[in-house]
Amino acid sequence: MIVVMNADSGDKEIARVISRLEEKGLQGHLSRGMERTVIGVVGQTFPELRDMLELMPGVEEVIPISKPYKLSGREFQPQDSRIKVGEVTIGGGDLVVIAGPCAVETERQVVDTAQAVKAAGASIFRGGAFKPSTSPYHFRGLGEEGLKILAQAREETGLPIITEVLTPQDVELVARYTDMLQVGARNMQNFVLLDEVGKTRKPVLLKRGMSATIQEWLLSAEYILSQGNRQVVLCERGIRTFETYTRNTMDISAIPIIEKLSHLPVIADPSHGTGKWYLVTPLALAAVAAGADGLMIEVHPTPDFALKDGVQSLTFENFEQLMSQVSALASSVGRRIATGAAKM
Amino acid sequence: MIVVMNADSGDKEIARVISRLEEKGLQGHLSRGMERTVIGVVGQTFPELRDMLELMPGVEEVIPISKPYKLSGREFQPQDSRIKVGEVTIGGGDLVVIAGPCAVETERQVVDTAQAVKAAGASIFRGGAFKPSTSPYHFRGLGEEGLKILAQAREETGLPIITEVLTPQDVELVARYTDMLQVGARNMQNFVLLDEVGKTRKPVLLKRGMSATIQEWLLSAEYILSQGNRQVVLCERGIRTFETYTRNTMDISAIPIIEKLSHLPVIADPSHGTGKWYLVTPLALAAVAAGADGLMIEVHPTPDFALKDGVQSLTFENFEQLMSQVSALASSVGRRIATGAAKM
Amino acid sequence: MIVVMNADSGDKEIARVISRLEEKGLQGHLSRGMERTVIGVVGQTFPELRDMLELMPGVEEVIPISKPYKLSGREFQPQDSRIKVGEVTIGGGDLVVIAGPCAVETERQVVDTAQAVKAAGASIFRGGAFKPSTSPYHFRGLGEEGLKILAQAREETGLPIITEVLTPQDVELVARYTDMLQVGARNMQNFVLLDEVGKTRKPVLLKRGMSATIQEWLLSAEYILSQGNRQVVLCERGIRTFETYTRNTMDISAIPIIEKLSHLPVIADPSHGTGKWYLVTPLALAAVAAGADGLMIEVHPTPDFALKDGVQSLTFENFEQLMSQVSALASSVGRRIATGAAKM
Amino acid sequence: MIVVMNADSGDKEIARVISRLEEKGLQGHLSRGMERTVIGVVGQTFPELRDMLELMPGVEEVIPISKPYKLSGREFQPQDSRIKVGEVTIGGGDLVVIAGPCAVETERQVVDTAQAVKAAGASIFRGGAFKPSTSPYHFRGLGEEGLKILAQAREETGLPIITEVLTPQDVELVARYTDMLQVGARNMQNFVLLDEVGKTRKPVLLKRGMSATIQEWLLSAEYILSQGNRQVVLCERGIRTFETYTRNTMDISAIPIIEKLSHLPVIADPSHGTGKWYLVTPLALAAVAAGADGLMIEVHPTPDFALKDGVQSLTFENFEQLMSQVSALASSVGRRIATGAAKM
């Protein structure tokens, strides 16, 4: 932590800052520049220290220099984390494709879609049983009934299942039926939920909040990791900006940045990231080119009759085309699509 | 709902849209312009209709024209809602000031602050027992112990109490100790929590999410209202923008806009909205000038020793000055500061 | 400037940074913390230094600590600047109201409006002769013909005139006809134009760019000041955010921030800042409450027939009401509306 | 254009809107829904009509349905535009790589870089002679001297030259020395400059403004096209968002969106888009995967001694690696890097 003093602060203010640091068992290392004096803080700092110093007379600004996250950082663990979901490994080099409908509607819809996405090369199946919806008047999911339908899709295809959990009370229930828990963008800072999924030993897919910085996203991962669950996969799904043509703005740069800062795998969700089906394939390709460990894609047998987010869902045929384009691109960068459920 | 057809769509595509509408018990009203044909949808539409139509061949865009919220809108209830918190009325013309520390730390800190803010004219006392914190390593509140301290502050001052509730499981507990429930910005789209506070009969303060549009904010209020709890107060607390000098950007325009669109009262929180104590008073004055029904202000006996958000908290003395400036400004627009707990 | 080294950088990297600094005539002041080593740079730094250091092996981050603007900062000039426009002083304590139509359309419209705004208490008259327009097919202003009409309005009312200048070549022409030059939001980083208005001795109103930080805004002022023209007034007119209900989001916090960082006066333009006539008065009041030195308001005799921005313009009657509300509010904070042209 | 009436508007207000439309030679086509009445406007509308209608009593909203741009739209010209720069064609399927230093510093630096980027496969050379800089104290370019150095680089390598023009007065001068004119992000809405480059017959590279919507960007292209210059190439270079880890947020979605809406070619500039050299290659690959017609890359012999933007520039070696990765990826999607200057 570095304390930058005001241009007009004097020796008295500087002495007070140093003495406050010493009270706290820290040391202040003084450095007088031409326009500003700065004080380097030496010792084990604590979160409240920043505000405490910023409010002292003569202090202009306090700049933290350590990263606020630990367990999720590359400094803590230099080698890549590999997360196992059933037989599939995310983060091991192969490209993992998660696909399925936004919402579970009927057994027919779900099983058909699971079979179609498996045939096209997806290795994890997704579907929402509990749906967050901006309006209380929209479809909010089938609940446990939906979880049962998902479990049946797993039985019929062998694909591991991921679904979103909305609230701490449901974690145990959802974990019982599925192989991976999803924490959605709107819950990225639902800290009680993060604690709760952190207490399970299920892999967790943590979506980026729509106005979350990369650092805040890693701090939310830190909540899960610090509860003892080290199986976290990050998912870039677009951020909110002034541009309204797309539902969100996919921040493709976040993919190589996460790779640099963290050992956790990162995948991309171009369906929510763009909100328009015809943009899903170009953005999926972009994410893979930028180094994503996988993709999450919405697929529906008849998007125009979907109960939720049909406008961003691919038909089976479009999904097959996406997979064949992704596969060609992956091989050009020495990678291939994972085939976790191949033995079935 | 209006369906805008592509410039190159033909009679066949138009006929298909109209026949799809008729299948759904609706009518399509055709209007051919010079560049575009549009189809007005007549009848009771439903949320999924938009996606369904947008995916049909020849359709360029579907524009909803009804407002998606009902119970929170002025069309549903033209006269202002008045929300009673203890003896205090928010939305009745008088300016209600809610004040207190960000986090409950000790009994001494809380009781002293409650007495100080009461003396200065605040009519509701705030303090956090459950704290959402970006990092798992920061102070997260005293929990039920904190609620007990708050209850004691009420006993000693007569001020009604508001505190944040973070998760559905805690709603019953928090409602037992306090007079008003706060749903924080990070939980504005925690829909399970909204449902749960909607089932109580306690007034709710709903903060705006940091990347929520005004429409999404009203839809979150709609969750609470549609559960039968009509006692909702909205709180503008800044949105996330590219400007980093302030912690958030206070959207002062939201105050008159809410007043126009909704019958619910709206207050402002310049402490979180700016993140810097020296901006709190100017922004509090601005909010009142723009028509806010009240203010929420962080106050701490010794901000530089606060466990949370000291840098945006006012000292007792600064709070007194704020109250005297707000009072002068309020009287210039024919308003005054509410005095709910005056009888004690 | 502070150089933060990587956690895994060693003595060799540190030595190389220090020796690079010495090559440039600077000194490096070493401070070893628990997690990071930082090097304080002592001496007269230069703009390219940051990149140069950031690219050296072992360097994680370079943090500038001096403010990049000089002449516009409070450290350079502690007392407020007072800018004279004709007989009117902006920044002297009185509230200066600039009003008039978005675009000059006809002599009748301009002279009528000038008389109406003068009668209501405005002290500077505005009107656009050169209009920036998002589309090439929209009205782009009358050009010099418009300047002549403005000059006539001055003659008939005695109000000094402000108008926007769009391009360096027009500076001399516009300066000949008017009393104050306006640089619009879209031109805030048109550096050649800033140089050019900096070479005149006319007061300049510098609007904030719609995605400009406060620091960038002050740096644009610095362009004008560093050419020798010290008569700069800043104008907050809303920034671009994700919220689409308003045309822009008025950043009211910018007003007290500018007051803290700079000696230059700052006014607010709620007409462009909101884009809706019914939000102009509440936001004008908010800006004054937050400490603005003045207001800029669009007024049109018949807004529904305006050639530009009618939807955000006030009628004469609405403007009168605004002035009476602003006047009441100003007096509650010990201020009053300036009356520069009173002698006519 | 569609006029949406208030829920409580009556026949009188509707009749007035229709009669106003008829005064203007238009027709109003009435459609009564369950909650709202809408009036479709039939006939040739004009820009001011929207405000005019929005201000009439009983009108809630006016929704434009025609696209505001014409010449840049796919409806006007369905087939892709191909822009010739020297012997190189942008938009013809092959990937065009523009590379060179941010700023022209010395003849040695420029000629060396031109030779290096040519050897690595770039087909157009870039370099800034007039530099826009946030601060007046930073390097602002060598001016005409820089243009001469660029011309010499062309002579020695055969690569066509692109450079930025900052102000209308310089257009003629810059056009004399170079093969393509660049309009920078900060000048995207410098309409006088757009007019001026529109009057030349040189190809123009139009960068997206950092807070410009896609529609505003196309309208700026429209300025150039409507002056008769049809040789416009668009360049995505990142937009301003709340995320501060990168200098800007690359909006990769803009690439397929432009391809859908417009016949103009679109390229990507990951150097400015990210502001960090180690993100340039992943984002370049992402842009190509998403369908970009080309790339613009900053290259410098010794980035740590660059006078401008060294931190985002690639060394010759890094650029070679980028080219080889881009080439592999391009071939996986059936494309290849253009080789315009091959004959030299």
Please report, for chain D, the start and end positions of each structural domain, with discontinuous segments joined by +: 2-63, 83-332
**pLDDT one-digit tens code per residue, C39-76:** 988 888 887 888 889 889 999 989 888 888 999 999 89
CATH architecture of C2-63: 2-Layer Sandwich (3.30)
SS3 content of chain D, % helix, strand, coil (to 5): 40, 20, 40
- Residues 6 or more apart from A147 whose CB is under 8 A from it? A129, A163, A173, A174, A177, A178
**pLDDT one-digit tens code per residue, D81-115:** 999 999 999 999 999 999 999 999 999 999 999 99
**pLDDT one-digit tens code per residue, D176-207:** 999 999 999 999 999 999 999 999 999 999 99
Question: Is the pLDDT confidence value at D15 over 90?
Answer: yes
**pLDDT one-digit tens code per residue, B88-120:** 999 999 999 999 999 999 999 999 999 999 999
- Identity (one letter) of the amino acid at A87? E
Residues of B in contact with A141 (CB under 8 A): none
Compute the average pLDDT of residues A267-277.
96
First to last CA, chain B: 55
Strands in chain D per DSSP E: 2-5, 27-32, 37-42, 59-63, 83-85, 88-90, 96-100, 124-126, 161-164, 180-183, 204-207, 232-236, 266-268, 294-298
Question: Is the pLDDT confidence value at C342 over 50?
Answer: no
Question: Is the pLDDT confidence value at B226 over 60?
Answer: yes
Residues of D in contact with B241 (CB under 8 A): 242
The residues facing B205 across adjacent strands are B182, B233
**Residue C273 tokens, joined:** 């800042």
Question: Is the pLDDT confidence value at B14 over 50?
Answer: yes
Nearest chain A Cα to B136, which residue? A223
User: What is the secondary structure of B178-225 as a DSSP string?
Assistant: -SEEEE-GGGTT-HHHHHHHHHS-S-EEEEPPTT--HHHHHHHHHHHH
> C touches which chains (3+ CB pairs under 8 A)?
A, B, D
The residues facing A182 across adjacent strands are A164, A205
> Looking at residue B342, what is its pLDDT?
46
> Looking at residue D44, what is its pLDDT?
83
Compute the average pLDDT of residues D283-310.
94
**pLDDT one-digit tens code per residue, B79-93:** 999 999 999 999 999
pLDDT bin (cut points 50, 70, 90) of residue A40 is: confident
**Residue C344 tokens, joined:** 């006519």
CB contact under 8 A, D249 and A245: no
The length of chain A, given as a count of residues:
344
> Looking at residue B310, what is its pLDDT?
85
Question: Is the pLDDT confidence value at B160 over 60?
Answer: yes
Residues of A in contact with D279 (CB under 8 A): 253, 256-257
Nearest chain A Cα to B52, which residue? A304
- Residues 6 or more apart from A235 whose CB is under 8 A from it? A205, A206, A207, A208, A266, A267, A268, A269, A296
The residues facing D266 across adjacent strands are D234
CA-nearest of B268, B277, B217, B281 to B247 is B277
Question: Is the pLDDT confidence value at A324 over 80?
Answer: yes
CA distance A221 to A262: 10
The length of chain B, given as a count of residues:
344
> Looking at residue B340, what is its pLDDT?
60
User: Which residues of A sit within 8 Å Cβ distance of C?
Assistant: 1-2, 4, 7-8, 29, 31-36, 38, 40-44, 61, 63, 65-66, 75, 240-242, 244
CA-nearest of B126, B130, B131 to B100 is B126
Question: Is the pLDDT confidence value at A192 over 60?
Answer: yes
Nearest chain C Cα to B278, which residue? C256
> Looking at residue C309, what is its pLDDT?
84
Compute the average pLDDT of residues A53-67.
88
> Looking at residue A340, what is its pLDDT?
60
**pLDDT one-digit tens code per residue, A64-95:** 888 889 999 998 999 999 999 999 999 999 99
CB contact under 8 A, A42 and C63: no
**pLDDT one-digit tens code per residue, B141-157:** 999 999 999 999 999 99
Which residue in B133, B140, B190 is closest to A187 by CB distance? Answer: B190
Nearest chain C Cα to D213, which residue? C240
CA-nearest of C320, C272, C218, C323 to C102 is C272
Q: Which among B54, B55, B300 is the top mutation candidate for probing chain A, defined by the most A β-carbons within 10 Å of its own β-carbon?
A: B55
- Residues 6 or more apart from B23 whose CB is under 8 A from it? none
Q: Higher-confidence residue: B238 or C139? A: B238
Backbone torsion region of residue B218, taken as left when φ is above 0, otherwise alpha when ψ lies between -120 and 50, otherwise beta: alpha
- Residues 6 or more apart from B15 whose CB is under 8 A from it? none
- CA C282 to chain B, closest CA, distance in angstroms equals 4
CA distance D220 to D258: 13
Domains A2-63 and A83-332 share a fold: no
Question: Is the pLDDT confidence value at A343 over 80?
Answer: no
Residues of C in contact with B253 (CB under 8 A): 245-246, 249-250, 273-274, 279, 282-283
Nearest chain B Cα to A278, which residue? B55
Which residue in D31, D42, D43 is closest to B29 by CB distance? Answer: D31
CA-nearest of B331, B340, B246, B248 to B285 is B331
Which residue in C34, C42, C242 is closest to A240 by CB distance? Answer: C242
Question: Is the pLDDT confidence value at B341 over 60?
Answer: no
CA-nearest of D242, C36, D83, C208 to B239 is D242
Which residue in C38, C43, C240 is closest to A2 by CB distance? Answer: C38
For chain C, give the mean pLDDT: 94
Compute the average pLDDT of residues A170-187.
97
CA-nearest of B200, B191, B240 to B219 is B191
In the CATH hierarchy, which fold is given to the domain comprising D83-332?
Answer: TIM Barrel (3.20.20)
Question: Is the pLDDT confidence value at D344 over 50?
Answer: no
- Identity (one letter) of the amino acid at D248? N
CA distance D166 to C252: 32
CA-nearest of A273, A216, A205 to A239 is A273
CA-nearest of B237, B233, B173, B181 to B208 is B237
> Looking at residue A214, what is its pLDDT?
97
> Looking at residue B80, what is its pLDDT?
97
**pLDDT one-digit tens code per residue, C207-225:** 999 999 999 999 999 999 9
- CA A193 to chain D, closest CA, distance in angstroms equals 25
User: How many H-runs (helices) and E-runs (strands) does chain A carry?
Assistant: 11, 14
- CA B246 to chain A, closest CA, distance in angstroms equals 13
CA angle centred on B93, ends B88 and B94, rounded to 5°: 50
CA-nearest of D93, D92, D159 to D125 is D159
Backbone torsion region of residue B334, taken as left when φ is above 0, otherwise alpha when ψ lies between -120 and 50, otherwise beta: left
- Residues 6 or more apart from D111 whose CB is under 8 A from it? D149, D152, D153, D156, D157
> Looking at residue A116, what is its pLDDT?
98
CA-nearest of B121, C314, B302, C251 to A52 is B302
Nearest chain A Cα to D280, which residue? A253
Compute the average pLDDT of residues D11-16.
93
Q: How many CA atoms lie within 13 A of B322 on its CB side?
A: 35
**Residue A266 tokens, joined:** 């990162």
Percent of chain A topping pLDDT 90: 80
For chain A, give the mean pLDDT: 94
CA-nearest of B228, B218, B270 to B249 is B270
- CA D63 to chain B, closest CA, distance in angstroms equals 9
**pLDDT one-digit tens code per residue, B268-319:** 999 999 999 999 999 999 999 999 999 999 999 999 888 888 899 999 999 9
> B touches which chains (3+ CB pairs under 8 A)?
A, C, D
* Pair type for strands A232-236 and B124-126: unpaired
CA-nearest of B145, B68, B134 to B104 is B145
Please state the φ and ψ torsions of residue A207, each to the nearest 5 degrees.
-80, 150
> Looking at residue B344, what is its pLDDT?
43
- CA C281 to chain B, closest CA, distance in angstroms equals 8
Residues of B in contact with A223 (CB under 8 A): 136
Q: How many CA atoms lie within 13 A of C85 on its CB side?
A: 35
Percent of chain A topping pLDDT 70: 99
Residues of D in contact with A285 (CB under 8 A): 289-290, 333
CB contact under 8 A, A289 and D289: yes
CA distance B260 to C278: 10
Task: Enter the ipTM.
Answer: 0.94
Which residue in B213, B251, B329 is closest to C333 by CB distance? Answer: B329
Percent of chain D topping pLDDT 70: 99
Nearest chain A Cα to C1, which residue? A33
Nearest chain D Cα to B68, which residue? D35
- CA B157 to chain C, closest CA, distance in angstroms equals 31
Compute the average pLDDT of residues D37-45.
86
